[in-house]
Structure 1
Amino acid sequence: MTEPGGHDGVRRAYDTVAEEYAARLHDELDGKPLDRALLATVLELAGPAGTVADLGCGPGHVAAWLAGRGARTVGVDLSSRMTTVGRARYPGVEFRQGDLLALPADDRSFDAAVALYSIIHLAPAELPRAFAEVRRVLRPGGTFLVSFHVGDEVRHLDSWWGRAVDLDFRFLDPADVARLLGDAGFTVRARTDRAPEPHEAPTHRAYLLARRE
């Protein structure tokens, strides 16, 4: 699926689990010290009055964490149910429904953007378009933090927390992602890998911190 709005299976899956997702994961950053450190780095690079986009924000708990530390945050998610749940939970965050391939934002709108485990639902051929969109909405010199599961497999879910879904999770090679970011006009400034925390799925994770040139 290469056209914006074509990710209907992803949208339906997250609509289906939105309330359960928010209830289970609202405090997940409490158990992720590295994620908090990287997000704090994003805030520092964005500046004290920075505007940060959380792309694939789900119910908005990461965006709310950023907002609680002084950033103006905009959460973007494909799932309308996720954005509805997020607005109810986190009134200090602005939520917009939208696709990573056609972000609902003007050019150069944000000082920074984060995409934590959201590009894993894109087909490999869609990543260049997604990264071009991120570059478009970032100001020159803006920061982009992206994270994903490491590998070359595709894991499929038919059921999630007892609900029927049809959802693929694509694992990615950090070198490939770094190359695509470079092709899109980013400079990768840092790469961090980590093993899963005890409460997480047993997958290796990677984080790339990039600058929009």
Structure 2
Amino acid sequence: MIEPDFLRTTRTAYDAMAARYAELFADGLEDFPLDRAMLGAFAAFVRADGGGPVADLGCGPGHVTALLDSLGLDASGVDLSPEMIAIARAARPDLRFEVGSMTALDLADGTLSGAMARYSIIHTPPEQLPRICAEFHRVLAPGGHLLIAFQAHDDPSELAESFDHKVALAYRWSPDGVVALLTEAGFTEKARLVRAPMADERPFPHAHVLLTRT
């Protein structure tokens, strides 16, 4: 199968700045209480349903994977960038980290109790997003939970708006549009948080959506 150009471009860009990225986000989410609250809710739902494996999809240097582990989840990480995965493995050798793509995850059907895609879809061309939504559905067990986060925009007539991200071309997404695609893929929305940007963030709202695989 021929790899899409956007995957090669994104991998190369993140490989080149992996060390700097890891340094910038070394404190995890200490200054993001609302983000941590949604992660806590996600973890609580997974634990309440008996636990099981959870994948941090687009895990970068593994700082949020480690947070999921601290919340009592059997967490592992997947990222497109080999350099990011090398940093994650060095920082947390007790956790599992693998190179992979959300377009074709190396996971058997229905093996996950939870999946998180925290800002991992932002470099995805809009026409590719349904494919990724289908992968989320495929790898999650029935009743499994998905937490997805992304920069948002408020025009419901447009699924995505591109913006000049510091690493590679990126997209802001309509929360309603993303939820509609995930609903078509077989998910039910449980909760949604749209927060204002923090002081050091670009002036965009940020959406966090919690869903369950039906």
TM over 0.5: same fold? yes
Q: Is residue 155 from structure 1 mapped to residue 157 from structure 2 by the alignment?
A: no
User: Cα gap change, 1:4/1:134 in structure 2, threshold over 3 Å: closer, same or farther?
Assistant: farther
3-state SS, counterpart of residue 101 of structure 1: coil
Deviation, structure 1 residue 51: 1.7
- Identical columns (%): 41
Q: Secondary structure at the match of 1:153?
A: strand
8 Å CA contact retained: 2:152, 2:172 = yes
Distance 2:45 2:169 in 1: 33
For 1:3 and 1:44, the matched residues in 2 are separated by 39
Q: Look up the SS of the partner of 2:44 in the other structure.
A: helix
Q: In structure 2, what is the equivalent of residue 177 of structure 1?
A: 178
2:63 aligned residue: 61
Aligned equivalent of 2:130: 128
Aligned to 1:210: 211
> Does structure 1 retain, via aligned residues, the 8 Å contact 2:28–2:64?
no
2:192 matched residue in structure 1: 191
Q: Aligned pairs, how many?
A: 205
Aligned-partner Cα distance in 1 for 2:76–2:87 = 15
What SS does the aligned partner of 1:82 have? helix
Over the aligned positions, Cα root-mean-square deviation in angstroms equals 1.6
SS of 1:122 mapped into structure 2:
coil
Q: Which amino acid aligns with 2:30?
A: D
Q: Is the 8 A contact 2:28 2:67 kept in 1?
A: no
Q: CA deviation at 1:169?
A: 1.1
Partner of 1:16: 16
Structure 2 partner of 1:77: 79
**Structure 2 gaps, min length 5:** 154-159
1:70: how far off? 1.8
Letter in 1 for 2:42: V
Structure 2 counterpart of 1:36? 36
What letter corresponds to residue 31 of structure 1 in structure 2? D
Residue 5 of structure 1, CA deviation = 5.6
Question: Aligned AA for 1:179?
Answer: A
SS at match of 1:83: helix
Residue 13 of structure 1 and its aligned partner are, at CA, apart by 0.5
Matching residue's letter, 1:135: H
Query: What is the distance in 1 between the residues matched to 2:4 and 2:92?
Result: 25
Of residues 104, 107, 113 in structure 1, which corresponds to 2:106?
104
Q: Is the 1:4–1:99 contact (alpha carbons within 8 Å) kept by the matching residues of 2?
A: no
Instruction: Report which stretch shifted further, 38-47 or 77-86.
Output: 38-47
Match of residue 202 from structure 2: 201
Amino acid at match of 2:14: Y
User: What amino acid is aligned across from residue 156 of structure 1 in structure 2?
Assistant: D
Scaled by the length of structure 2, the TM-score of the pair is 0.91
How far the C-alpha of 1:180 sits from its partner, in A, is 0.1
In structure 1, list runs of 5 or more residues that go unmatched. Answer: none
Q: 1:156 Cα deviation (Å)?
A: 2.8
- In the TM superposition, residue 4 of structure 1 has moved relative to its aligned partner by 4.7
Query: Which residue does 2:157 correspond to in 1?
Result: none
Q: Are the aligned partners of 2:79 and 2:99 in contact in 1 as well (CA < 8 Å)?
A: yes
Provide the residue aligned with 1:87 in structure 2: 89
1:119 counterpart SS class: coil
Are the counterparts in 2 of residues 4 and 101 from structure 1 also a CA contact under 8 Å?
no
- Report the CA distance shift for 1:74/1:5 in structure 2 as closer, same or farther (over 3 A): farther
